[in-house]
Amino acid sequence: MFKVGVTGGIGSGKSVVCSIFRNLEIPVYDADREAKRIIAEDPGVRRELVHRFGEQVFRDSKLDRRYLAERIFSDPDARLFVNGVVHPRVWEDFREWLGRQEGPYVIEEAALLFESGAWKEMDFNILVTAGEEIRTGRIMKRDGLKREDVLARMASQIDPAEAVKMTDFRIGNDGKEFLIPQVLAADHLIRQRMAMVRE
């Protein structure tokens, strides 16, 4: 199955882009949502997180996402630890999901596609971009975070200029261009690439 990665910095709007792909009947695996499910359900992952961060990382048996976010966005080592525990399970889950899909190709939507190395397993990678001020405003409004907290999260992600170098297609989501034509252009290019692979 031809695999497409879709990523972008926090607040770039990659979920909006993926919703358009879903309307084209392309299956989308939401890696961030599934990671939360795996953390909640996988006893091995829970044990590792409790061992590193203490019992307070789970409150009433549910992950305290705010507490964990504060730890990983202020401590690069903590972030590397969590990624090292969670990402292998997410990749395993993605491969199981992949075997159940039908369609011309599938998408993995992941905030840390480049940071986790998962982009190397994709056949095609799409980067969704928007200016820092636009992204900051979106996240402050969506999550109720302070500006400095949003900027700390942005700083923990790959520099967009570096991400572009690993990207096959870029979709701008800053209001200057309509999204649907860009997604249709990406879909056309993906199908062209698939045809070349089959030849």
pLDDT in tens, 127-153: 999 988 898 888 898 888 888 888 878
- The 10 Å Cβ neighbour count of residue 29 is 21
> Is residue 158 over pLDDT 80?
yes
Q: What is the pTM of this model?
A: 0.89
Ordered by start, the domain boundaries in the chain are: 3-10+39-198
Cα radius of gyration (the chain): 17
Query: What's the rounded mean pLDDT across residues 32-49?
Result: 91
Residue 114 CB contacts under 8 Å (≥ 6 apart), including other chains: 7, 158, 162, 163, 166
> Does the domain formed by 3-10+39-198 have CATH 3.40.50.300?
yes
Could you tell me the two tokens for 104? 């011309």
